Structure 1
Amino acid sequence: MTLPLTPPRVRILLDNDTGIDDALALAYLAACPHVEIVAVTATPGNVDADQVAANNRALLALCGQPQVPVLIGAREPLRVPLVTTPETHGPQGVGYATLPDPGPADPQTGERDAVDYWIEAARANPGELTALLTAPLTNFAHALRREPRLPWLLRRVVIMGGAFYYQGNTTPTAEWNTHVDPHAAAEVYAAYTAAAEAGLDEEKLPIVCSLDTTERFEMQPALLTDLAAAAGCAEPEHVLAGDPEGQRSTASNPLVRYLSDALRFYFEFHRHYDQGYIAHVHDFFAAGIAAGTLEHRNRPATVAVETESPLLFGTTVADFRSLWGKPANARVVSWNDPETGFAELVERLGVLARRLEPAD
C-alpha cells in the first residue's frame, strides 16, 4: 500500500478502552488535520467504561477537541465477567499521567447510548465513516446485532486485536482485547462472514492489526526525547531505564508531560515482564491505518475465535487458504514500517503540542 502525499479527509468513529496506547492513538488522531473524530465511545477493558469515558473527555480537552462527543455503551462483556489491567495501564488506565477533572459529560450526548449513536451516524452518513476499534469488540457486536447492515454502511473498519502466528500477550495464544470478550469478537467475525456470503466487497472487510505486526511498533524511551524537541520544550525530556520507578515528567509542554508520564508506566510494565524497557504501542499503528497515514500490507483470511476451550479461550485463528471453505471475513495485516511510523508520530504530535503550548 502506497500512501498519498496528502491523505484525504477521514471521519472516524473511535471505540476504545483508554488505556495508555489508546491514549497515544487518540492524541495522534487529534494531531492529524485531515482527520475528523466524529465520536469516541467507551468499551470496558483496561478500566471500566466510566473511567474510559473520563479519560477520553480529559484527553480530548487537552488536545483541543473538547467538542467531540464521548459516549458509553456496554458496561460488561457479553458473557464473561470484566477483567481490567491495573498492572499494565495503572489504576486509572493512563499510567502515571494525571489530567484535570474533565467535569460532567455533555448532557446532550453523555446520557446517549454509544451503540445507538454509532448506528444513527452510520445510517446518516453511508459510506463515509471509518470505525476504529482499539478495545474489546463488545460495543461493535451490539451494534451489529441492532443493525446488520453496518458492514455496508461503514466506509472502513480497523480492528486492533488477535494473534495468529504469534504468542499471545494474555495467555500463550490469546491477545488481550479478544480475550476480554471473545464472544463479542466471535460475533463480529461471524457477522462479516455472513456479509461476505451476501456479497460485501472485500475492501469493506475489517483490517485486523494483530500482535503479529503491532508488536513491531516497539517504542524506545528516546522517542520521548525526540517528541519534546519537536514540541519545543524548554528542557530536554529524558526517560531512562535507570530512573526511579514512578518518576514524573517536568516537561514544559502539557501534552509531552502527559504522554511521558503515561508511557513511563508502560515501559516499566514491559520490563517487569522481561521484555525490556520498551512499550508496544499497538493502538497507534491501528490509528495510522484508519487515518490513512501509515503504510501496511494485508492478506484476506477467514478469522474465527475460540470461546469454549479453557486452554485456548480467546484464541484467534486465521484461515488464509480457504481450508474451511468459507469466504474471507477480514484482511489481516502482514507488513508494516515502524521506523517511518514513529517518525510520523513525532512530527504530528510535535506540531499539536506546539499549538497547545500556552502563550507567555
Structure 2
Amino acid sequence: MRARIILDVDTGIDDSLALLYLLASPDAEIAGIAATAGNVPADRVAANNLAWLDVCGAPAIEVALGAPEPLAIPLRTTEDTHGPQGIGYAELPESRRPLSDRSAARMWVELARAHPGELIGLCTGPLTNLALALRIEPELPTLLRRLVVMGGAFNHPGNTTPTNEWNVHVDPEAAKEVFDAFSSAPADRRPIICALDITETIEMFPEHLRRLAERAGCPPDRPVSAHDPDGLRSTSPNPVVRHIDDAVRFYFEFHRHHDQGYLAHMHDPFAAAVAIDPALAVLRPATVDVELTGTLTRATTVADWAGMWGRQPNADIVIGTDPVVFFDRLITRVGDFARAVHPPARQEVS
C-alpha cells in the first residue's frame, strides 16, 4: 500500500531533498503540497515547489499557498542558511504550473475529510498551516492516518537559540497548538517527531553526492569537494543532479562556516523516509509541550518522558536510526529517479 502524504514544507534545501525523496519513492504518493513561510517567504516556497515538480517531470500535484506570517509573531526567514531563493546556488526555472485556489489550511482539511484514516501528514517547516487547519477541523488528529514532524530538540542543543530548533522557533504558538491538539489522538496515531537529537546525526558528505550522480548515470568529472572554492557550480548534464549539487554545496558551505565541517544535516529527507517507513526509526513515547513565556527558553520543546505531568503521551520521539541505511535509500531512490526522468542519452546542460 502506497503512503499517501500531505507534504507541508518551507522549501528550503533539505526540504527540496525531502520532496525529491517522495517523488522518487514508488511506495509514496503526494496528495498535496502546502507552502509554509519559514526558510523563505511562503510565495517563494510555493514557487520552489512548483519549479522542482517541473524539473522532475512530475504529474499535476496540488500546491497550496500557506499563511504569510506565523500565528502571533513576525516572520523570521533564514536566507543565510538556504540562499536568497531558499535553494542554495540552484537556479530553477520559474514554473507555469498554477497554484491551488484553496489555502494550505483548507487543503489540509478537505483532503483529510475526503480520505479519513488514509493520509499521512508530513511537516518539515513551521507548523502554522497545520495549526490553522486544526482551528477549522479539530478532528484532524483522528482523520489523519499519522503525522510526522521534523522539529524540536529535547536532549540536544538547539540550532537557533541554545535550546530551540528553527521550525518551532519560527512559530512556537503553532507548534504548541498542534501538540495540544494531538493529545486526543489514539496511541497508533501519535505524531512521530524527528528532532535535532536524531536529524543532526543524518550527515551528508560530498561522497554521498558523488554516489548519487553515479547512480543517475552521470559520474561527475569533478565531484564536489571540501577543497572547492565557495560558489562553484555543477556542470552535470542531469538537471536533477545538477540542481541538487548546487543546492547542497551551499548547505555544505554554511555548515563549514559555522565550524560544523563540510557536511549538511539532512533533517527533512530523513523525516520523509520515516513517513513512508516508520521502521527506520526507534521511537519512544513522551508528552511534548512548547515553552511560550520563558525569557531564555521561549520556543523550547520539552518532553516529559516519565509521566511527571500526569498527562498521556502525545508524541513518539525518534531516538535512534541507522544513517547508513537511510543514505543508501536516498541515493538509490533519487539516483534512479533522476536517471529515469533524464536518461543519460538525452542529457544536455540547460
User: Which TM bucket (shorter chain)?
Assistant: over 0.9
Q: Matched residues in 2 for 1:72 and 1:65: separation?
A: 19
Tell me the secondary structure at the aligned position of residue 252 of structure 2. Answer: helix
Q: Percent identity?
A: 55
- Which residue is equivalent to 1:88? 81
Q: Matched residues in 2 for 1:259 and 1:182: separation?
A: 30
- Which residue is equivalent to 2:17? 24
The answer on whether the counterparts of 1:57 and 1:66 sit within 8 Å (CA) in structure 2 is no
Q: What are the ranges of 5 or more consecutive residues in structure 1 without an aligned counterpart? A: 1-7
- Which residue is equivalent to 2:280? 295
Match of 1:44 among 9, 27, 37: 37
Q: Matched residues in 2 for 1:313 and 1:250: separation?
A: 44
The alpha carbon displacement at 1:66 in A equals: 4.2
**TM-score of the two chains, using structure 2 as the length reference:** 0.96
Q: Matched residues in 1 for 2:333 and 2:224: separation?
A: 20
Q: Matched residues in 2 for 1:327 and 1:302: separation?
A: 6
Match of 1:158 among 120, 132, 148: 148
Match of 1:133 among 123, 143, 151: 123
Q: Matched residues in 2 for 1:100 and 1:264: separation?
A: 19
- Which residue is equivalent to 1:11? 4
- Which residue is equivalent to 1:116? 106
Letter of the aligned partner of 1:153 in structure 2?
L
Q: Matched residues in 1 for 2:134 and 2:317: separation?
A: 20
1:218-245 deviations in whole A, cap 9, x for unaligned? 1111111101100000544511111110
Match of 2:61 among 45, 49, 68: 68
1:174-208 deviations in whole A, cap 9, x for unaligned? 00000000000011111122x1xxxx320101000
The answer on whether the counterparts of 2:32 and 2:62 sit within 8 Å (CA) in structure 1 is yes
The answer on whether the counterparts of 2:210 and 2:220 sit within 8 Å (CA) in structure 1 is no
Q: Matched residues in 2 for 1:273 and 1:243: separation?
A: 17
Greater Cα offset, 235-244 or 225-234: 235-244
The answer on whether the counterparts of 2:11 and 2:40 sit within 8 Å (CA) in structure 1 is yes
Q: Matched residues in 2 for 1:236 and 1:128: separation?
A: 45
Structure 1 residue ranges (4+ consecutive) displaced by more than 2 angstroms after TM superposition:
234-237
1:80-118 deviations in whole A, cap 9, x for unaligned? 100000110001000000111112525xx2x31111111
Q: Matched residues in 1 for 2:68 and 2:59: separation?
A: 23
- Which residue is equivalent to 1:225? 210
The alpha carbon displacement at 1:58 in A equals: 0.5
Sort the Cα spacing of 1:249 and 1:294 in 2 relative to 1 into closer, same or farther, 3 A: farther
User: 1:337-356, aligned counterparts within 5 Å?
Assistant: 337-356=322-341
Are residues 1:315 and 2:300 paired?
Answer: yes
Q: Matched residues in 1 for 2:33 and 2:241: separation?
A: 22
1:246-299 deviations in whole A, cap 9, x for unaligned? 000001111100000000000000001100000001001100011117611111
- Which residue is equivalent to 1:4? none
Tell me the secondary structure at the aligned position of residue 130 of structure 1. Answer: strand
- Which residue is equivalent to 1:331? 316
Match of 1:207 among 178, 192, 216: 192
Q: Matched residues in 1 for 2:342 and 2:323: separation?
A: 28
Sort the Cα spacing of 1:104 and 1:60 in 2 relative to 1 into closer, same or farther, 3 A: closer
The answer on whether the counterparts of 1:42 and 1:49 sit within 8 Å (CA) in structure 2 is yes
- Which residue is equivalent to 1:279? 264
Q: Matched residues in 2 for 1:296 and 1:35: separation?
A: 18
Q: Matched residues in 2 for 1:138 and 1:118: separation?
A: 12
Tell me the secondary structure at the aligned position of residue 149 of structure 2. Answer: strand
User: 1:247-266, aligned counterparts within 5 Å?
Assistant: 247-266=232-251
Q: Matched residues in 2 for 1:155 and 1:125: separation?
A: 9
Number of residue pairs matched by the alignment: 345
Letter of the aligned partner of 1:208 in structure 2?
I
Tell me the secondary structure at the aligned position of residue 103 of structure 1. Answer: coil
Tell me the secondary structure at the aligned position of residue 36 of structure 1. Answer: strand
Are residues 1:190 and 2:183 paired?
Answer: no
The answer on whether the counterparts of 1:228 and 1:237 sit within 8 Å (CA) in structure 2 is no
- Which residue is equivalent to 1:145? 135
Sort the Cα spacing of 1:102 and 1:294 in 2 relative to 1 into closer, same or farther, 3 A: farther
Are residues 1:304 and 2:294 paired?
Answer: no
Letter of the aligned partner of 1:216 in structure 2?
T
